[in-house]
Amino acid sequence: MLVRDTFTTAFVKNLIVVLVWLILSYINTILVITFFRHQVFYEDPRYILFIHMVINDGIQLTVTVMLFILSYIFFKINVSFCCFFILVAVFTTRNTPVNLASMAIERYIAICNPLRHPQICTVRRTYIVIGCIWFISVAPDITDLFVTLANESLSFFHQSVFCLRQNVFKDPVLAYKRQVFDILYFSCVFLILVCTYLRILFAARALSTEKMSAQRARNTILLHGAQLAMCMLSYISPSVEIVLHLILPGRILEIRYANYLIVYILPRFLSPIIYGFRDKQFRKYLKMFLLSHRCRVKVKAVSPLDAGNM
């Protein structure tokens, strides 16, 4: 039996989610516009990977918020639409940790092997890496759709279900396959991040001539680590949700909502802070954009008054 929230609880939950989505969408839009308005960012692999992550997170957030709201409005939705929403959410959620691992490797090369960085990290290779990120994220989970198409009748895709992954991709083998790939992803990404960030940390300490510089490097790496740890929760969140449901059987709705906020929402707040606002070069162009936008708004507001006085 499916349990539903009261109207007040559902309204508060959806209001919080929509407000967070609006704030993040506004921030991400400003970051994307700033990137595409300045040629200097097109030639830097670091910023290309960063803006790819921002766009990916924007898609992921929009799809998951839509799915969250639809689940409260209609409760059950068409299986075909549910498949689409779930697969896009899964692909983009998996993308973020792999993208961050790629950024960690790029930073490792830039700091620990700076002379070879221009030859290794070219723009062309960066786009190839982005293609590989999508292949790594899509390949394991697209098989869920093929297996479901082979096992289920056509009428199944015309039915309506409460849109959860286990309600659409029901084959038990798929659950075991997801666990295997989650463990594999978690282990590989974790090892890459630990190795690269430790090397970056030691290099930052060795190269920093001022104490404040070393402190900033350590703080940046700590923020990276916090975001990556939160993103990697997506690999273990299904298992954690099952365990918590067994411990707190009457709190499944609260568990799912907390899981949604922690795994899918909070990590998206850190990307603009770490790579946008804290980066000196990006922050400079971001301030220029905001100042120019503010000036245009003031001019539009003043011009009708000036026209009336003429």
Q: Tell me the per-residue pLDDT of 215-242, one tens digit each, with 9 for 90 and over.
A: 665 666 677 677 777 777 767 777 777 8
Domain boundaries, the chain: 7-297
The predicted pLDDT at position 127 comes to 95
Least confident of 6-20, 44-58, 212-226, 237-251: 212-226
Mean pLDDT of the chain: 81
Would you place residue 207 in the very low, low, confident or very high pLDDT band (cuts 50, 70, 90)? low
Which DSSP category does 77 fall into? Answer: E
- Name the strand (E) or helix (H) holding 161: strand 160-161
pLDDT tens, residue by residue, 139-182:
888 888 888 888 888 888 888 888 888 888 888 888 888 888 87
Would you place residue 204 in the very low, low, confident or very high pLDDT band (cuts 50, 70, 90)? low
Cα pseudo-dihedral 32, 118, 270, 29, rounded to 10: 0
CATH H-level superfamily of 7-297: Rhodopsin 7-helix transmembrane proteins (1.20.1070.10)
pLDDT tens, residue by residue, 76-88:
889 989 999 999 9
Asked whether the predicted pLDDT for residue 66 surpasses 60, the reply is yes
Least confident of 69-78, 121-130, 240-249: 240-249
Of the candidates 306, 225, 232, the residue with the CA atom closest to the CA atom of residue 262: 232
Query: What mean pLDDT is predicted for residues 124-141?
Result: 92
- Dist. CA 99–CA 96, nearest whole Å: 5
Least confident of 5-14, 117-126, 200-209, 251-260: 200-209
Asked whether the predicted pLDDT for residue 195 surpasses 80, the reply is yes
Q: What is the 3-state secondary structure (H, E, C) of 229-290?
A: HHHHHHHHHHHHHHHHHHHCCCCHHHHHHHHHHHHHHCHHHHHHHHHHHCCHHHHHHHHHHH
pLDDT tens, residue by residue, 254-305:
888 888 888 778 777 777 777 667 777 788 887 887 777 666 655 565 555 4
The predicted pLDDT at position 308 comes to 53
The predicted pLDDT at position 296 comes to 61
Both structure tokens of 168: 């659409």
Residue 116 phi, psi (nearest 5): -95, -5
The percent of residues above 90 in pLDDT, for the chain, comes to 10
